[in-house]
Amino acid sequence: MQLTTNKEKLFRALVQSSHFTSSRIGATAGLQGLLLINTKGKLHIYSTNLNTFFHTTIEASLQEEVRLLLDHHKVVEFVTLLNNGEVVLLAEKDKLVISQGKTKGAFPLLPNADFPTPPKVEGEGQIINGEKFEKIISLVLFSASRDTSRPVLSGINFVEKEGFIDIVATDGFRLSLFHMKNELKIRSMLIPADFLLELTRKIKGKREVIMNYLDKEKMVYFKAENDEYYTRLIEGEFPPYERVIPTEKKSTATVDKEGLIRNVKLISVFARDFSSIVICHFKKGELVLSPKIEGGAENTTTQEVEFEGEEMRVAFNFKFLLEFLNTINEDKIIIELLRPDAPVVLKTVKDKDYLHIIMPVRIQE
């Protein structure tokens, strides 16, 4: 088999596919590889880690059907360094030769008989706005747990109820929630956060994305142009997140975001030596930040705020504060306080459908 294709398109497809291979220690070599199938002038590329699947196609000048599996690591690195333009792929008995002019690279083939391909998708699915979906997911994604020992916390929970949809993530220390009308008709489901992280990177800027469900396989499917993404849904009971959201408040502060980022970073220089805790003292007209340390007024900074309610001191892990502040794209944030030991609600001024909660750190007064 010999086929000719475009280097830039081949490189993009290989890189995209490589993000969905298995990186787990002990995984079979096949799951770390890419399956290439050529049919009727199209080169299909598949990858999987058994929980997620990826499939894309690029044009290629060959009509005969060919199926081969190769380790992506060296292939991607080699193709990266080729010049733009056409490249030739020549499949022999036990290797794939990629050439461009006088440059050639040979890569061993892997047994491909047992490589799993994604299930067939029935129906047309529904069209969702990729730009809007990417924005919403990015505002909750950072709150999902990185610890896979509790799978339900490593996912984004979609909860459909009475014409609305809640999109929520939590790691037990913080929570992000989007509550809005379910115009996209999304079902209740729990999608792995690491899959959505890759998906949103890939669909950024794309207006139309097709979404579908594979009920038998308990999977969800997305398609953007020639790229198809599949993932198995997480099974399990998500924590009752509604109970964490305060129904009342005693104080409200409106704060300049960029100023708060700067001041949190300033105090983090000292807070890193004290369990990464920053104490925020909210009072009329100002917010005073300091590290968790007894005595004196050293190592503090102050910024002006709009404040209503009771004066209050609340302690946070500064990393959680910064991650929230660096995610949102607005100038002002609203901070709602109930008690020093109660969940703190952070909102944006413009986006009324979104809120973020950080559990404060208990400190001795």
The rounded radius of gyration (Å) of the Cα atoms in the chain is: 25
Structure tokens at 108: 């061993």
The answer to whether residue 281 sits within a structural domain is: yes
Looking at the fold, whether 233 and 251 belong to one and the same domain comes out as: no
Residues 228 and 280 in one domain: no
- Tell whether 121 is covered by a domain: no
What's 82-107 look like in SS3?
Answer: CCCCEEEEEECCCEEEEEECCEEEEE
310 and 287, same domain (yes or no): yes
Q: What pLDDT, on a 0 to 100 scale, did the predictor assign at position 63?
A: 61
Residue 27 lies in a domain: yes
Residue 116 lies in a domain: no
* Residues contacting residue 181 through CB under 8 Å, at least 6 positions apart: 163, 164, 165
Q: Is residue 260 part of a domain?
A: yes
- Mark whether 225 and 264 lie in a shared domain: no
What's the confidence (pLDDT) of residue 73? 86
* Helix residue spans in the chain (DSSP H): 7-18, 72-80, 130-141, 193-203, 257-271, 318-327
Helix axes 193-203, 130-141, angle to 10 degrees: 140
Most confident of 17-26, 34-43, 200-209, 303-312: 303-312
One domain, residues 102 and 136: no
Of 67, 85, 110, the one marking the end of a domain is 110
Q: Is residue 232 part of a domain?
A: yes
Residue 239 shares a structural domain with residue 340: no
Exposure pattern of 310-322 as b/e (b: 16+ CB <10 Å)?
eebbbbbbbebbb
Whose CA is closest to 260, among 289, 235, 238?
Answer: 289
Domain boundary residue, one of 243, 271, 291: 243
Q: How confident is the model at residue 64 (pLDDT cuts 50, 70, 90)?
A: confident
pLDDT at 215: 93
- Dihedral-angle region of residue 77 (phi above 0 means left; psi in -120 to 50 means alpha; beta otherwise): alpha
Nearest-10 crossing angle of helices 318-327, 257-271: 150
pLDDT of residue 31 exceeding 90, the answer is no
Is residue 19 included in any domain, yes or no? yes
Quote the CA–CA distance of 108 and 59 in Å, as a whole number: 23
48, 30: one domain? yes
- The one-letter amino acid code at 203 reads I
Q: What domain range is 348 assigned to? A: 246-358
**Alpha-carbon distances, residue 56 vs 9, 12, 62, 197 (angstroms):** 11, 10, 17, 18
3-class SS at 29? helix
List the one residue out of 246, 244, 251, 217 whose CA is nearest residue 231: 217
56 lies in some domain? yes
Mark which of 209, 243, 277 sits at the end of a domain. 243
Residues 199 and 219 both lie in one domain: yes
Paired tokens of 348 = 């944006």
Segment 147-158 shows an average pLDDT of 93
The CA-to-CA distance between both ends of the chain, in Å, stands at: 75
How does DSSP classify residue 325?
H
Strand 306-309: give its sheet, edge to edge.
189-192, 155-161, 164-170, 174-181, 354-358, 344-348, 332-337, 251-256, 306-309
- On whether both 100 and 141 belong to a single domain, the answer is no
Phi and psi angles of residue 49, each rounded to the nearest 5 degrees, phi first: -120, 20
Q: How many domains, in total, are found in the chain? A: 3
Within 10 angstroms of residue 128's Cβ, the number of other Cβ atoms is 19
Please check whether residue 308 is in contact with residue 334, taking contact to mean a CB–CB distance below 8 angstroms. Answer: no
The model's pLDDT over 215-226, given as tens digits with 9 standing for 90+, comes to 999 999 999 999
Is residue 283 within 8 A of residue 289, CB to CB? The reply is: no
Asked if 198 and 141 sit in the same domain, the reply is: yes
Name residues whose C-beta falls within 8 Å of residue 143's C-beta, 6 or more positions apart in sequence. Answer: 169, 170, 171, 174, 175, 176, 356
SS3 323: helix
Taking the C-alpha atoms of residue 329 and residue 333, their distance in angstroms, rounded to an integer, is 10
Query: For residue 223, what is the domain's CATH number?
Result: 3.10.150.10
CA angle 125, 131, 134 (to 5 degrees): 85
Q: Is the confidence at residue 184, as pLDDT, over 90?
A: no
| 231 shares its domain with 278 | no
Among 137-146, 287-296, 333-342, the range scoring the smallest mean pLDDT is 287-296
Residue 253 shares a structural domain with residue 156 = no
pLDDT digits (tens, 9 = 90+) for 75-131: 999 999 999 999 999 988 889 999 999 999 999 999 888 899 999 998 888 999 888
